[in-house]
Structure 1
Amino acid sequence: MREKRKIVVVYDKGAASPGEIFKGISRLGRVVFAVRESEYVARIMPVLQRLAEVVVIDESDLAASANTLRSTGASAILTFSERMLGITAQLASELGLLFHSPEVVELLQNKSLQRERLAQSGTDVVPCRRISDLGDWYSAVDEIGFPMVLKPIKGEGSRNTFKIDDFDSGHQIVQKLLAERSVSVSKYFLVSEKFLQGVDTCKISDYVSVESVIVRGAVTHIAVTGKFPLLPPFRETGQFWPTDLDHAECLPVTELASRAIEALGLESGLTHTEIKLTESGPKIIEINGRIGGWINELSLRALGIDLIEVAARIAMGLEIDLHLPEMDKVYFQASNLAPLRKGVLEEVVGESVVRELPNISSYRLVLRPGAKLMGGVNTEEIDLLCGETKDHASMLEVLDTALNAIGFRFSFSGESVTLTGSELWS
């Protein structure tokens, strides 16, 4: 019997769990998890080792790490972790395997370079300025004005992403972030860009994402993902398929995503493109070179398509045959987010009630009681609520009922605070 092909998944915290990855890929070949040493990997290592072979890679010597992976018989490589895209691209280049090139990954991860490429190609223009010191901040104020968005030039999960409405508050935030930066970061640490004002309509939210599959340059858009409103400043609460936009409204959105994918030179893999709906038309928020968070769960329920398997097939050079059925329901996901203060999640109340609610298909905790909350500006999900309804209006009714039924007790420096889901969303 011919030995199964080995598929390397460069793993870290990201858009897919070890179990999802193993289930989606193991039917195609033998999974090898390639990991770097980190606190998170140390915690998850027993799970990885129960599922598959694990290889520890050395970030300081990726050529040697590539040789180690070559010795395992690796025939494909991919990742579902934003923070591992660069390492995966370099390993793929060393191994001669299909993945985004290092140059493409730099465009995907460097928010300033991405804006520049989109503007140079005529795809999308949003005023943007790199910030390495206070002098750059003053120039950004002159060139962009207020309101503006300030964020790390590379990052994920809305970490340290702020809306700046005036000079004084922006000056304080820039000073704080510049003081905290690591000596290992690049010269340009922050990026400021014009705040995109959403359209004032009756839609559920003023932004969407486009989930796309790219095979040898050919793009197939799996879905336009509707979004629930953000919590300040830019923290994501949930999403749903299909979007509440009609067909005519979706066309310019998917067309913009296609042009952006071409502009960045993407030839293969999955992308998650976030787009703001403005009075002057759709505008790119950012393009990500991997599957979006929790998107595979939506895809499995709504379409019966495992996007983890699709990603592996692309990496292996196999044919992709996508049949996209019509969705006869609205499939949704929602998360309660941890407060922005550091603390501890002490207790969750109402889990069993939520699980028994009509139209709720599953409820799971991402953080368990006793978990420490990181605090600060970022999207830290406590849980994931999934459901299916006949339309968008009934989805909002079900969500409202569920958020009122669930409660969380937190401890902040000895102070005990209990909040419902509805209160966390307000």
Structure 2
Amino acid sequence: MLVVPYTVGPASPLQIAEACDGRTDFVFLVHEQDAQATPLVPMLEELAPVVSHGGNASRVVEELAPLKPRGVVTFAEPTMRIAAAVAEAFGLPYNSQATCELLTSKLRQRERLNTAGVGRVRTFAFRLDDAESVSLPAGARYPAIIKPEEGVASRNTVFVASESDLPARLREIPPGRTYVFEEYIRGADIYGADWLADYVSVESAVAGGVIRHLGVSARLPLVAPFREGGLVFPMPPEEKTAASITDLAERAITATGITTGLVHTEIKMSPDGPQIIEVNGRLGGTMSRLIPRALGLDPVRLAVDIALGVPLPRDFGKPSRVAMLVYVQAPMEATAVEATPSAARLRALPGVFGVDFFARSGRPVDWRSGSLGRICDVWIDAESPEQLRERYRAVLDVLDSGIAWSRAKAPTRDEKPAE
């Protein structure tokens, strides 16, 4: 029996079920206060048994004991701690509780990376209760990024240009929680292409002390203030740069203590070389569709294999195509969607293999929702990066002509998210 602590994340319930089909029975664990997962319980129960829990690891272990678990796998940060507890109780391969703390705390992770010599980015945490009364250490460096100490998808993340800019930026994010203040990593060219961003992600698999990489993903430019614009897989830079990037990813994986599962490591190119943005001990968001399209390999099945003790393949093969996901994000001043292009028109474009709308006319939008607040995903593939770029431009033309927003007064500050 495979134990799958579940919340909404990079792998859908159906993808998990298909990855397990014919190889192992499995059970979903769902926290009874998970606002995203609990509405899905009826659907989950059609695929496998569901164990609801309140976060009490001892009770979860007691309930699972008769099922004789033989593996545990999860795909999202909020479920990592319970996954680690289950693995520890039954002697299953998974990351330790200490590692899961690093993977879910942006502050502790950065401190560990800095201590291990894998980074040199100044970071500290502070409690935000009143934007006007926050006092930061004298050593705070600007420009900087402020983001939730525990959070995903760039929600409530802002760019602070200077000390005088700080109060206004703090008023833009919700009080009553802990945030991380982090020195901004200045960007440098990586691809020599103005349509790509200055950071990448390394998609890796770890099992039995072995780290192997599925590939390097390029990123589309960020949408202000720090929301994802999209991904391209695979898109390795030139050989020397690629080697420095994958070496840094391996050092970060080792420093955080990851021993088991898939890893999504975000790395930014700076004038001083590659720098870790963050390490995610899970499948990268959207990679469950991009990797199969380009590499012909199912990463959800690979994660299940690792959980069941199957050794990593010596080679993941060579990609046959290049695949892209375009996130359609609202501008910061937008308050609602007024119009969207037709999905049929987008699907008719060369290389478009998927269009997913999350919002239609009249729906409110708010940049504070981060990448999760996007209104549409467009999936594109091609035989080469050059062909992909042309197809991407055609998609942008349709999006630009077909989307309209209701807008508030435009911000007066510089919204540029990256250099």
| Structure 1, unpaired ranges of 5+ | 1-5, 182-188, 414-426
Q: In structure 1, the residue corresponding to 2:26 is in which secondary structure?
A: strand
What aligned pairs does 1:265-284 form with structure 2 within 5 A after superposition? 265-284=257-276
Q: In structure 2, the residue corresponding to 1:378 is in which secondary structure?
A: helix
Distance in 2 between residues matched to 1:276 and 1:136, nearest whole Å: 32
- Counterpart of 1:146 in structure 2 is 142
CA contact (8 A) 1:208 1:227 kept: yes
Matched residue type, 2:310: L
Distance in 2 between residues matched to 1:167 and 1:48, nearest whole Å: 48
- Counterpart of 2:183 in structure 1 is 194
Match of 1:359 among 351, 363, 378: 351
1:125-177: CA deviation from partner (whole Å, max 9, x where unpaired): 1111222368996444x313210111111111101111110223313444675
Q: Does 1:57 align with 2:50?
A: no
Indicate how the Cα distance of structure 1 residues 127 and 68 shifts in structure 2: closer, same or farther if over 3 A, else same: same
Matched residue type, 1:405: V
1:230-289: CA deviation from partner (whole Å, max 9, x where unpaired): 001111121112225112211100000011111111111111000000110000000001
- Counterpart of 1:313 in structure 2 is 305
Distance in 1 between residues matched to 2:323 and 2:404, nearest whole Å: 29
CA contact (8 A) 2:3 2:29 kept: yes
Indicate how the Cα distance of structure 1 residues 47 and 410 shifts in structure 2: closer, same or farther if over 3 A, else same: farther
Distance in 2 between residues matched to 1:371 and 1:293, nearest whole Å: 24
- Counterpart of 1:69 in structure 2 is 64
Distance in 2 between residues matched to 1:33 and 1:347, nearest whole Å: 38
1:79-112: CA deviation from partner (whole Å, max 9, x where unpaired): 1112211222223223332211110011112111
- Counterpart of 2:414 in structure 1 is none
CA contact (8 A) 2:236 2:242 kept: no
Matched residue type, 2:186: Q
Q: In structure 1, the residue corresponding to 2:306 is in which secondary structure?
A: helix
CA contact (8 A) 2:156 2:174 kept: no
CA contact (8 A) 1:340 1:375 kept: yes
Q: Does 1:390 align with 2:414?
A: no
- Counterpart of 1:166 in structure 2 is 162
- Counterpart of 1:119 in structure 2 is 114
- Counterpart of 1:42 in structure 2 is 38
CA contact (8 A) 2:75 2:282 kept: yes
Tell which deviates more after alignment, 145-154 or 343-352: 343-352
Distance in 1 between residues matched to 2:3 and 2:87, nearest whole Å: 10
Distance in 1 between residues matched to 2:174 and 2:207, nearest whole Å: 40
CA apart distance, 1:195: 0.4
Percent sequence identity over aligned pairs: 30
CA apart distance, 1:41: 2.1
Distance in 1 between residues matched to 2:35 and 2:257, nearest whole Å: 34
- Counterpart of 1:208 in structure 2 is 200
Distance in 2 between residues matched to 1:103 and 1:366, nearest whole Å: 36
TM-score (norm 2): 0.87
- Counterpart of 1:286 in structure 2 is 278
TM-score (norm 1): 0.86
Distance in 1 between residues matched to 2:40 and 2:363, nearest whole Å: 15
C-alpha RMSD over aligned residues: 2.6
Indicate how the Cα distance of structure 1 residues 347 and 110 shifts in structure 2: closer, same or farther if over 3 A, else same: same
Indicate how the Cα distance of structure 1 residues 328 and 314 shifts in structure 2: closer, same or farther if over 3 A, else same: closer
Distance in 1 between residues matched to 2:321 and 2:214, nearest whole Å: 16
Q: In structure 2, the residue corresponding to 1:19 is in which secondary structure?
A: helix
Distance in 2 between residues matched to 1:269 and 1:387, nearest whole Å: 27
CA apart distance, 1:318: 2.0
Indicate how the Cα distance of structure 1 residues 146 and 219 shifts in structure 2: closer, same or farther if over 3 A, else same: same
CA contact (8 A) 1:350 1:405 kept: no
Distance in 2 between residues matched to 1:365 and 1:246, nearest whole Å: 35
Distance in 1 between residues matched to 2:214 and 2:326, nearest whole Å: 20
Q: In structure 2, the residue corresponding to 1:14 is in which secondary structure?
A: coil
